[in-house]
Amino acid sequence: MAKLKIIIAPDLRLKSKCTPVESVDAATARLMSDMLETMYDAPGIGLAAPQIGVAKRIIVVDPAPEKGPPRPIKMANPEIIWTSDENKIHEEGCLSLPREYDMVERPDKIRVRYLNEKNKQQEIEADGLLSVVIQHEIDHLQGTLFVDHISSLKRGMILRRLTKQKKLGRTYYETEPA
């Protein structure tokens, strides 16, 4: 497996819409595994293909508790086919916006249809953290970041901080506190 480089915002690659996957072949399944390894190493609980510079509709998620066994889900062409009427507010962060967090309101429950790593169509219902993570990652496939769901003032502040870090030549790992 290969650890992939995560793109840090602002970056135009994070704002483009992704193309569907025709089928999950061996190369796509390998990419999903590499994405999962990259996500765990970051560490994170979700990663979308555009975050590693691949403009395909692929996401991986695993919101399992730190001390629990991993429960990864690999999805190609994920599509939300139902949402609950009830919304919830959760704090969100993103591997492409390191150390930045804010509150985002999303549907509490969803049903998602996707192709798994074996090219089999699946459907799952998700609520709570799993629902939030899936919605967050699907947003990436449309070129939407979690900061696009918050006020323009807060979004601008976050993006200016990240731009400053980039200008200083710092990567995510170099700006982490000791």
How far is 145 from 4, CA to CA, in rounded Å? 20
- Is 137 a known active-site residue? yes
- Determine if the peptide bond prior to 10 is cis (ω within 30°): yes
Structural tokens at position 67: 């001390």
**Which residues, including other chains, have CB under 8 Å from residue 38's CB and lie 6 or more apart?**
3, 4, 6, 47, 52
Identified catalytic residue from 100, 137, 174, 176 = 137
Q: Where are the alpha helices (DSSP H) in the chain?
A: 26-41, 128-141, 152-167
Q: Which residues are the active-site residues? A: 137
